Amino acid sequence: MTTSLNAATDSSASKGSGNGSAAADRETASQTTGIERLYEGKGAIDFIGRSKLWYILAVALVVISAAAMLLRGFNLGIDFEGGTKMSMPAGDLVAEQVEETFVDATGVTPELTQIVGAGDSRTLEINSEHLSQEQIDSAREAIYNEYEPVDASGEPSPDAIGDSTVSESWGSTITNRMLLSMVLFLVAAAVYVAIRLQRNMAIAAMVALLFDGIVIMGIYSLFGLEVTPAMIIGLLTVLTFSLYDTVIVFDKVKENTEGVLDSRRSTFAEETNLAVNETLMRSISTSVISALPIIALMIVAVWLLGVGTLQDLALIQLIGVVEGVISSLLLASTLLVTLTNAQSKYKEHNKKVAEFRAGKDKGALIDGAPASADASLDDPEAGESASSKRTVASPRTSSRLDAEAHATEPARQSAATWRPNQN
């Protein structure tokens, strides 16, 4: 009796220490900060569960972007529409006054008059429709006589006023080549994702890519930002970045959902949501690292030096990097789950998972083992209790008994003890 009491005491003490250890682990996990959980891929943010919200926002952005492009159009740069640009050191010039002088000299109202850059590199630019050489010479003379801009040597000179003209035919050629480059890029991207990804993943990736392009172009149309060749180059760059980020997320989804139909522990949507959480900080970190040199480019090259081409390139990249990550994490993964759950085998699997969690179909196999065995993996104490109650062994046939007897016979003979007068 004493021995039984001691054994019971030791068992209860062991069980108490186990419970205490589990409680301590839970307390430590709860004290982990949110940012640490994100870095560890344990943020448990329900991205997929908010799919309706992401779809509503995506549709709203597409509608707004499409309306802006149809109603407002685009502010095409001189390289696409053709025209004339005149530029000079800004100095103490006032843009409105110089514009009035330009209009009086040419009879043409410029489309844009602005000062770009900072400090000694400030430049005044006048963009207008295509001007004849006579109009250009007249505008240069009038501006020089009125304001006397200085050249690089610091001396007043008419040569300080530069001009560049692009014909309408050349602008049309550039526009056609821009459209051709966009089409070729989309075709190449479609071929790549079709080879690289599964069918549903490829469809979701291409839809997200088209969404990126529409929204970015809609932003340029809505706010009247100038569309230039540098902007198109930047657009293709950020679309490539967005596609790359989508592929990274989908690679993790593919890893997590491998064999998901063979188990009833989780659904495809849950494993996809886990993959998004696991790649969240990587995507954010990549975007931040990409944005830092872009911001530096905008500050140094644009604000200080006033280089318009770099401004167009930096602005589109900054917009695209932020928007591309959002679409990869929220839209692409959500659309993938929607397409996958539309298949009958995944519908059936989701139903089985729900039934198992509700306590039904307990005798079904899970990962090749009885449901009770799977439950013991989730609850160690339940596993210990189940194992102490029942032990299942394979049946022993007569042939198997004979084999075991022959196998143990040599061991018995070797274990025999020699005694005197024993033959």
pLDDT band per the 50, 70, 90 thresholds, residue 403: very low
Any domain includes 141: yes
pLDDT band per the 50, 70, 90 thresholds, residue 283: confident
Same domain (yes/no): 96, 199:
no
Owning domain of residue 219: 174-356
CATH number at residue 143: 3.30.70
Cβ-based neighbours of 43, under 8 Å, separated by 6 or more:
34, 37, 277, 280
Same domain (yes/no): 186, 315:
yes
Same domain (yes/no): 189, 151:
no
Any domain includes 99: yes
Same domain (yes/no): 208, 340:
yes
Any domain includes 389: no
CATH number at residue 273: 1.20.1640.10
pLDDT tens-digit map of 33-69: 555 655 555 556 899 999 999 999 999 999 999 999 9
**Of 356, 376, 402, which closes a domain?**
356
Pairwise pLDDT comparison (176 vs 16), residue with the higher score: 176
Any domain includes 367: no
> What is the chain's Cα-based Rg?
36
pLDDT tens-digit map of 320-362: 888 888 898 899 999 999 999 999 999 999 999 999 988 865 5
Any domain includes 349: yes
Rounded Cα distance between 95 and 83, Å, is 19
E strands, 196-343, where?
226-227
The pLDDT assigned to 303 comes to: 63
Point out the least confidently predicted range of 230-234, 269-273, 350-354: 230-234
Same domain (yes/no): 160, 178:
no
Q: 209 is written with which tokens?
A: 């890519």
pLDDT band per the 50, 70, 90 thresholds, residue 405: very low
Pairwise pLDDT comparison (346 vs 314), residue with the higher score: 346
Mean pLDDT along residues 206-210: 94
Same domain (yes/no): 135, 218:
no
Same domain (yes/no): 286, 191:
yes
| Identity of residue 38 | L
The pLDDT assigned to 227 comes to: 87
Same domain (yes/no): 115, 255:
no
Same domain (yes/no): 323, 184:
yes
Mean pLDDT along residues 144-163: 85
Check: CB of residue 284 under 8 Å from CB of residue 325.
Answer: yes
Mean pLDDT along residues 365-372: 44
**Of 315, 331, 356, which closes a domain?**
356
The answer, yes or no, to whether residue 416 has pLDDT greater than 60, is no
The answer, yes or no, to whether residue 190 has pLDDT greater than 70, is yes
Rounded Cα distance between 26 and 31, Å, is 9
Any domain includes 398: no
Check: CB of residue 241 under 8 Å from CB of residue 369.
Answer: no
- Model confidence, pTM: 0.69
Same domain (yes/no): 215, 311:
yes
The pLDDT assigned to 384 comes to: 43
Short-list 83, 81, 75, CA closest to 175 = 81
The pLDDT assigned to 401 comes to: 40
**Of 166, 196, 230, which closes a domain?**
166
Same domain (yes/no): 245, 296:
yes
Which helix H or strand E contains 163, and what residues bound it? strand 162-166
Q: What is the mean pLDDT of the chain?
A: 77
Any domain includes 228: yes
What does DSSP say about strands 112-116 and 123-128: parallel, antiparallel, or unpaired? antiparallel
Same domain (yes/no): 226, 349:
yes
In percent, the amount of the chain with pLDDT more than 90 equals 32
Query: Helix, strand or coil for residue 194?
Result: helix
> What total of structural domains would you count in the chain?
2
Rounded Cα distance between 316 and 37, Å, is 32
Any domain includes 341: yes
